[in-house]
Each structure stands twice: as C-alpha cells, then as structure tokens.
C-alpha cells in the first residue's frame, strides 16, 4: 500500500518541510539578558569576539560593542572578558 505524500512544491529549497515560513525573529527579540560594554575598561583584546558563539561582537574605533539584534544574551563574553568590561543586565520591555 502506498502513502500519499504532501505537496512540497511550494516550499523553498532552503527550508525544512516543517518550517514552511521563514521566521523573521532574531535572538534580540527573545533574549532575557543583554551585555553592556564599559568603553573605558575595554582594551580591544578581542577575547569577547573570539568566544561569542554567534559572532555578534562588533569592532569600533576604541572598543568592542555588541550587535544587539543578533546577541542571544548567553553571557559568555562577560565571563571571558579579562578586564571585566562587560556586564550582563536584565532585558526590559522597550
């Protein structure tokens, strides 16, 4: 006995058949904590950039900052910063 298969012809090739609609949600939409960089403490050692699992540390002229749209708030950057230049603060509603 053969089973009828669902019509997948309308599903884009870069999506799995379950996720038929690409979610516009970014990590910044659901994050509970966010990192804040103390610019006067940052020495641009780039350790945070190295450890950030989603590569959202952004190099500025004199410090490293965070792309908050992509940051998921894991806190690894704050843990690894050797100069304690990053602290995690609770995310509040805009």
Binding site for ligand SF4 (CB under 6 A): 35, 37, 42-48, 52, 54, 56-57, 63-64, 66, 71-77, 81, 83, 85-86
Backbone angles phi, psi at 29, to 5 degrees: -80, -20
- Closest to ligand SF4 by CB, 11 or 63: 63
Backbone angles phi, psi at 64, to 5 degrees: -105, 135
Shortest distance in whole angstroms from residue 27 CB to ligand SF4: 7
SS3 4: coil
- Closest to ligand SF4 by CB, 19 or 45: 45
CA-to-CA distance for 88 and 60, rounded, in angstroms? 20
């Amino acid at each position: 006995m053969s089973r009828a298969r669902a019509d997948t012809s309308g599903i884009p090739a870069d999506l799995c058949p379950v996720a038929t609609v690409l979610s516009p949600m970014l990590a910044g939409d659901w994050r509970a904590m966010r990192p804040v960089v103390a610019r006067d403490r940052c020495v641009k050692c780039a350790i945070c950039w190295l450890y950030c699992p989603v590569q959202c540390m952004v190099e500025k002229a004199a410090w490293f900052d965070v792309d908050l749209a992509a940051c998921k708030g894991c806190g690894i950057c704050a843990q690894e910063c050797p100069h304690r230049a990053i602290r995690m603060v609770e995310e509040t509603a805009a």
